[in-house]
Chains A and B, each alone.
Chain A
Amino acid sequence: MKVFEANISHQVAIFLNDSLKKIISLELANQKIFDAFGIQCFFDNNEELETLKEVISKTQIVVKEPDRAEYGDFQTNEVLANKATLHLSFRNISPTVIVEPTCGKGAFIIASLRNFQQIKKIFGVEIYKPYVWETKFNIVNFFLENPDGAKPEISIKHCNVFDFDFKQIAKHYSTENILIIGNPPWVTNSKLGSLNSSNLPPKTNFKKHSGLDAMTGKGNFDIAESITLTMIETFQKMSGNLLFLIKNSVIKNIVYDQTQNKYKIASLEKQSIDSKKEFNVSVEASLFYCELNSVPEFDCQEFNFYDNKKSYQQFGWVNNKFVSKIDSYIHKKEFDGQCPFVWRQGLKHDCSTVMELDKVNGHYINGLQEEVQLEDDLVYGILKSSDLKNTVITQIRKFTIVTQKKVGQETQYIKSGYPQTYKYLLDHLPDFDARKSTIYNNKPLFSIFGIGDYSFKPFKVAISGLYKTFHFTLVLPQDNKPVMLDDTCYFIGFEKVEFAVYSLILLNSDTAKQFLQSVTFSDAKRTFTKDI
C-alpha cells in the first residue's frame, strides 16, 4: 500500500487509522505520534493529516515503485544496514546522536534503532518527500514491532541536504557521541545537473582545479563526495564515528585530499561490499569508516566487509606519495619519480563519426559510412586503447584527420592547402558545432586537443589508460608518418627507435610492473593517467 507515494505497511496503516481517525488538530496528531514514537512534527500541515487519514481509511492503493536510479538513488537494503550497524556495535560503538543525511527510506535509522541502545536523538534529512513519509512509517512500524525499545527524539526533515544546517547539530550536541551514517547518492554533479535536480551543492570549483581541468573531467565530482566532506568538516571535532556507503573512487578522493584537508579523522577503513548483490549495479563501492576528533591520519585499511578478516591491504600517503598498496610500494619506492621523457595523453576531437576513418580498398570511409575524398597529408593512422594489445604495432586499422599541429593553431590554412579536406570538414561543420565540451568554445574551426610537437615524434611507447593491464606497446611509424593515439592512451615520443625500445623493455619489466601495481588503483575509471 502507498500513501504520499511512500510504502506503508498494513500494520502501520491500521495503527494510524485507529489513532488518528478522531483527531482533527494538527498539534494533537503530532503530539500523539511524538509520545508514541519520538518522531517530531510527523505532519507538516493539516492537509497532510487529512490526506493521510482519508487514504488509509480507504482500500489499499498499489502504485508502481518509481525508478530513481538515475538520481544515484540506490536504497540500502535492511540486511546490509543492519549488518553495518552491528559491525559498529561489535566494536563497542554506542552513539547518543545519529545523523543520516539523505536518509532515503530510513534503512540506517531503523538499523540504528535496532542495534544502538544509548541513542537520545536522531536526525534524518531527505529531499524526496515520499521517502520522508516512508522513513516515518518505517519508524512507526519498527516501534509497533518493538514496543519496548527506547524511543529517542527523531527528526526527519524534508530538505535539500545542502540547505540543511548541520552546524547547528554539531554546536548543540557538541559533548555527545555522534554517528554520521548513511548512503549518499552515487551520482555526479553533472548528471544531476542534466536532470535539473536541485539536490546539488552551490556551484564552486571546490577542488580548486585549474583552467582546462576544471572544464573537463576533473571538474565533475560525486555528490556523495561533497556530502561526505561536508559531514567530516562539520563534525570532525565531536567524538564519534562516520560510516558511509560510497563509491570506492570517492573514498580514494577523500584519502587523497586528506593531505590538504588534514581533517581530524583516523582509523580510516574501506570495507568492500558486493554492489551487484546489494544493489544490482556494477559500481565498486564500500562502507567508509573513520573515527572523528582524532589526530589526522592519511592512509586507509582495506577489508572485505563480509568475511570479518584482517585488512588485506592499505592505501594512502607514504611521505608525500599517494599509493594503492603501501606494503608493496615500500619495497619498490626507489622507482617512484620523474622521467625526463614527458608522458602525454593522445588526441581528442569528440567528433569520431567525421574525424575517424577506415580505409577500404584504398578509399577513406567515415563513421557515417560516407566515402570521403581527402588529401593524404593531414590523415594519420590512429590507435585506440583496444589496439594496444601487442608489444609492437605493425598495422593500423583506423585513420584520423589531424587539423592542427598545436592546440589553438588557426585552421584556415586547410582551405588553401587541402581544399578537399576543407570541403569535407566544412560539410560536417554541424557535427563539430554539436561538441558539448566547453574546451572547443571560441577556438578555430575543427579544433582538436592533445596535439603538439610530441604527437609527431616517429616512435612512441604507449599504454591504455582504460585497461587494467600493465603492458606497454611500441608504436612504429606507418608509411613514414607518425601514428597518433586517441585520448584514452598515454605515451612518450622518441626520435630514435632504440630509445623507444629500451624504454619499452624497461617499462614491461617485472620490476616496473610491480611498482606500477603499487601506485595504481584497479577500480579507477582510468588505471593510468599522465600523473600516475
Chain B
Amino acid sequence: MRIDLLELAKSINKQGLKTEMNRLNELYKLNLTLDLWDKFLNELTPVTDGQISMFALSE
C-alpha cells in the first residue's frame, strides 16, 4: 500500500496519539505505552543516507 507511514508519523499530534493509545488500552484491555515510539520511527526511517556516506568515506 502506497502510504508513507513515516510521513504520517511525523505529522501526527503526539497528544492525539496518546489519547488514541489510551482509548485502545481501555477498550481492549491492552497495556501499551509510547515507550517504543522513537524505535518505531527509526524502523520507518530509510537507511540509504547512511550507506551512501560510508561509501563516500571509503573513496
Q: Which residues of A contact B (CB under 8 A)?
A: 321, 334-341, 343, 391-392, 394, 463, 490, 496-499, 501-507, 509, 511-512, 515-516, 519, 528, 530-532
Q: A340-B46, A498-B40 are in contact. Are A519 and B9 (CB under 8 A)?
A: no
A198 to B22, CA, bound (A): 62
Considering the chains assembled together, what is the distance between the CA atoms of A532 and B20 in angstroms? Answer: 25
- Using a CB–CB cutoff of 8 Å, the interface residues on chain B facing chain A are 1-9, 11-12, 16-17, 20-21, 24, 27-28, 30, 32-37, 40, 43-44, 46
CB of A501 within 8 A of CB of B11, answer: no
Given contacts A519-B2, A531-B2, 8 further A-B contacts (CB under 8 A): A337-B4, A339-B5, A340-B44, A501-B30, A502-B17, A507-B5, A509-B8, A512-B8
* Residue contacts A-B, CB under 8 angstroms, 7 given: A334-B7, A335-B3, A341-B44, A391-B28, A392-B28, A499-B43, A511-B11
Q: Which residue of B lies closest to A463 (CB)?
A: B1
Contact across chains for B20 and A505 when beta carbons are under 8 A apart = yes
Q: How far is it, in angstroms, between the C-alpha of A515 and the C-alpha of B12 when the chains are bound?
A: 14
Contact at A392–B1, with CB atoms within 8 Å?
Answer: no
Inter-chain contacts of B20 with A (CB < 8 A): 505
- Judging by beta carbons under 8 Å apart, are B3 and A507 in contact? yes
Our pick among A336, A340, A519 for the contact of B43 (Cβ within 8 Å) is A340
Q: Is the beta-carbon distance between B21 and A505 smaller than 8 angstroms? A: yes
B2 near A337 with CB under 8 A, answer: yes
Which residue of the partner chain, among B4, B34, B43, contacts A335 with CB atoms under 8 Å?
Answer: B4
Closest CB of chain B to A4's CB: distance in Å? Answer: 54
Q: In whole angstroms, how far apart are the Cα atoms of A115 and B40 in the complex? A: 64
Distance A83 CA – B37 CA, assembled complex (angstroms): 59
B21 near A501 with CB under 8 A, answer: yes
The answer to whether A498 and B8 touch across the interface, beta carbons within 8 angstroms, is no
Using CB atoms, name the residue of chain B closest to A342: B1
User: Would you call A516 and B24 a contact (CB within 8 A)?
Assistant: no
Min CB distance, A6 to chain B, in Å? Answer: 51
Contact of B6 among A339, A490, A499 (CB under 8 A): A339
Min Cβ gap B18→A in Å is 10
Cα-based distance from A504 to B9 in the complex (angstroms): 11
Top-8 shortest CB links A-B = A337-B4, A498-B36, A506-B8, A392-B28, A343-B1, A339-B5, A505-B20, A502-B40
Nearest chain B residue, comparing its CB with the CB of A502: B40
Given contacts A505-B21, A511-B11, contact A336 B2 (CB under 8 A): yes
Partner of B8, one of A335, A394, A499, A528: A335
Contact A339 B44 (CB under 8 A): yes
Residues on A with C-beta less than 8 A from B7 are: 334-335, 337
The interface residues of chain A lying within 8 Å CB-to-CB of B37 are 502
Q: How far is the CA of A264 from the CA of B32 in the complex (A)?
A: 56
Give chain B nearest CB distance to A475 CB in angstroms: 12
B40 to chain A, nearest CB (A): 5
Please report the C-alpha to C-alpha distance between residue A402 and residue B33 in the assembled complex, in whole angstroms.
Answer: 34
**Distance in angstroms between the alpha carbons of A341 and B5 in the assembled complex:** 9
Contact A502 B1 (CB under 8 A): no
Q: For the complex formed, measure the closest distance between the CB of B15 and the CB atoms of chain A, giving whole angstroms.
A: 12
